[in-house]
Amino acid sequence: MKVVVVLAVATILAASQCHGSEYDRFPLEMVSDGYHPGYPPEVWCPSWRVAVEAHNYINWKTVPSECANYVASYIEGDQYDSDSKLVNQQAYFYAKSLKRTMNDVWIFNIDGTALSNVPYYAKHGYGVKPYNATAYDAWVRKGDAPALRQTLKNYHNLLGLDFKIVFLTGRTIDKKAVTEANLKEAGFHTWEKLILKDPVVYNGQSSVAYKTAERKKLEKEGYRIVGNIGDQWSDITGKFPGFRTFKLPNPMYFIA
Amino acid sequence: MKVVVVLAVATILAASQCHGSEYDRFPLEMVSDGYHPGYPPEVWCPSWRVAVEAHNYINWKTVPSECANYVASYIEGDQYDSDSKLVNQQAYFYAKSLKRTMNDVWIFNIDGTALSNVPYYAKHGYGVKPYNATAYDAWVRKGDAPALRQTLKNYHNLLGLDFKIVFLTGRTIDKKAVTEANLKEAGFHTWEKLILKDPVVYNGQSSVAYKTAERKKLEKEGYRIVGNIGDQWSDITGKFPGFRTFKLPNPMYFIA
């Protein structure tokens, strides 16, 4: 790594001297995957992660290979749980501050939000390897995803405040039975609606488009979306996102 | 700190046993400032910071006192610069990917974005102390704020791509001359517009409302806002935010 940094610095210096420019252009620092640190991995991998969380770094395909160990340690250590806890806490404090009406709903995404897919990703490089739809699908169909514990706690707290829960997932409708069973098994025992994706209706559409369309339906049916929590920005952007939205951490993959 | 954690844990355990509930409510873990870790500061201060950056933790008045050292170290160490670099790089890569038209503008916020106010905050607890408008104002009027170097680099790169730059700041119009001089002194030598806040027109309005109204004016004048970069979510939310927005790190204060 140090060699790469030294080479990059040397290239930048040489280039800026050649062009007589005080301001070196970023592309000189790029490495193969479009990322280009200038800082060692222990500094720029955290920068990468926070840029993902703050929606600055988008449309990425895989975790940068230099951050493989960093992401694995993050997910398996306390930080992921702590980060998830704080976000869920803020969601609950917000919910508590609201004057609830009968038709108030909270939307929960499922994978990476209510149910953890860490057991799958732990066996597939924590996002360093390209997404494998067949393998992931097979894993989902096993139906034994555990709850993300901080989300489960929040779910129970929101139910305790009498909010209705809507699960809105990118899982397709053929996975309805396994999803229902998995949710219950993991402790999410009740919901107002479980919305799965009809692949015919939403053929080729982005997650944002699909989720926006389904939220619009909810609003038309008379529900008021007060909160919305997901691990992807595509869960909480687009129209009718909810009064407040909450972004759970996920440095393993990006869904547009 | 350990005593607080132990007491909190004990309280939670006692409470959940009393109520026979499997799911302890978060408020039991709250501490005086509304924050309530469950993890030691070295874990939950990073959680707090990422929650701030991802717009999960909002409307806060001061940095949690337990995170004073953490925030100071973050700002003065490499991480703040690295985080700022990555965000500016992503902004530049996005700009490079665009087919520019004549009236394309990039909006830059000023304080905490183009110009650094770290020299001020370093003398005022890095955000742990409540905001002091008089002291801050006096500091701004000195006009010697340095550039945030990663933003300056990006600014020059965007100029190199022939984008027009608009500075849109919450500074009031009485600070026009000192702001112009400070920007130039810091290396921001040219701009299409420098928009300062008229305190009569925007009396009592939020930063989001003010900035949205000024962006609307820009669009009416025929500009196309392609990018928008700021250190506050209020810089980049509301209507007409720009095609893409970029959130620079700032764990020292929150402006609504």
Selecting from A44, A56, A245 the residue whose C-beta is nearest the C-beta of B90 gives A56
Nearest residue of B to residue A152 by CA position? B23
Residue A173's CB is within 10 A of a number of other CB atoms, namely: 13
Which residue in the block uniquely carries the two structure tokens 């529900």? A223
Q: Walk along chain B (256 residues) and give the pLDDT tens digit of each residue.
A: 343 433 343 333 333 333 333 344 444 344 434 555 689 999 999 999 999 999 999 999 999 999 999 999 999 999 999 999 999 999 999 999 999 999 999 999 999 999 999 999 999 999 999 999 999 999 999 999 999 999 999 999 999 999 999 999 999 999 999 999 999 999 999 999 999 999 999 999 999 999 999 999 999 999 999 999 999 999 999 999 999 999 999 999 999 9
Out of 3.40.50.2020, 3.40.630.40, 3.40.50.1000, 3.40.250.10, which CATH number does the structure's domain B72-247 have?
A: 3.40.50.1000
At residue A172, does pLDDT exceed 90? yes
Which residue in the block uniquely carries the two structure tokens 């999960």? B56
Six token digits for residue B249: 């790190």
Question: What is the mean pLDDT of the segment spanning A181-202?
Answer: 98
**How does pLDDT run across A96-127, given as a tens digit for each residue?**
999 999 999 999 999 999 999 999 999 999 99
Beta strand extents in chain B (DSSP E only): 104-108, 164-172, 193-197, 224-230, 244-247
Q: Where are the domains of chain A?
A: 2-71, 78-247
Taking the Cβ of residue B51 and every Cβ of chain A, the question of whether any pair is shorter than 8 Å is answered with yes
Which of B97, B53, B100 minimizes the C-alpha distance to B74?
A: B53
**Contact between B95 and B101 (Cβ < 8 Å):** no
Q: Mean pLDDT for chain A? A: 89
Would you state the pLDDT for residue A35?
56
**How does pLDDT run across A214-241, given as a tens digit for each residue?**
999 999 999 999 999 999 999 999 999 9
Question: What is the mean pLDDT of the segment spanning A64-90?
Answer: 97
Selecting from A43, A82, A246 the residue whose C-beta is nearest the C-beta of B47 gives A82
> Cα A178–A210–A117 angle (5° rounding)?
40
* Contact between A157 and B25 using a beta-carbon 8 Å cutoff: yes
Distance CA B192, CA B190 (A): 7
Would you state the pLDDT for residue A9?
37
Selecting from B34, B43, B51 the residue whose C-beta is nearest the C-beta of A87 gives B51
Tell me the range of A2-6, A13-17, A29-33, B34-38 where mean pLDDT is highest. Answer: B34-38
Taking the Cβ of residue B189 and every Cβ of chain A, the question of whether any pair is shorter than 8 Å is answered with no
Six token digits for residue B133: 């408008």
Taking the Cβ of residue A24 and every Cβ of chain B, the question of whether any pair is shorter than 8 Å is answered with yes
Distance CA A77, CA A91 (A): 23
Task: Estimate the crossing angle of helix A78-97 against helix B41-53, to 10 degrees.
Answer: 60
Calculate how close chain B gets to A85, using CA atoms only, in Å: 9
> How far, in whole angstroms, is CA B96 from its chain's centroid?
24
Would you state the pLDDT for residue A3?
38
Would you state the pLDDT for residue B35?
55
Would you state the pLDDT for residue A36?
59
Sort out which chain B residues have CB atoms less than 8 A from A39's CB and list them: 78, 82, 85
The size of the A-B interface in CB pairs under 8 A is 122
Would you state the pLDDT for residue A160?
97
Task: Estimate the crossing angle of helix A41-53 against helix B41-53, to 10 degrees.
Answer: 50
Would you state the pLDDT for residue A38?
85
Would you state the pLDDT for residue B41?
95
Distance CA B44, CA B25 (A): 18
Q: Which residues contact B30 (CB under 8 A, 6 or more apart)?
A: B36
Would you state the pLDDT for residue B38?
85
Q: How buried is B210 (Cβ within 10 angstroms: 0-12 exposed, 13-18 middle, 19+ buried)?
A: buried
At residue A23, does pLDDT exceed 80? no
CATH architecture of A78-247: 3-Layer(aba) Sandwich (3.40)
Taking the Cβ of residue A78 and every Cβ of chain B, the question of whether any pair is shorter than 8 Å is answered with yes
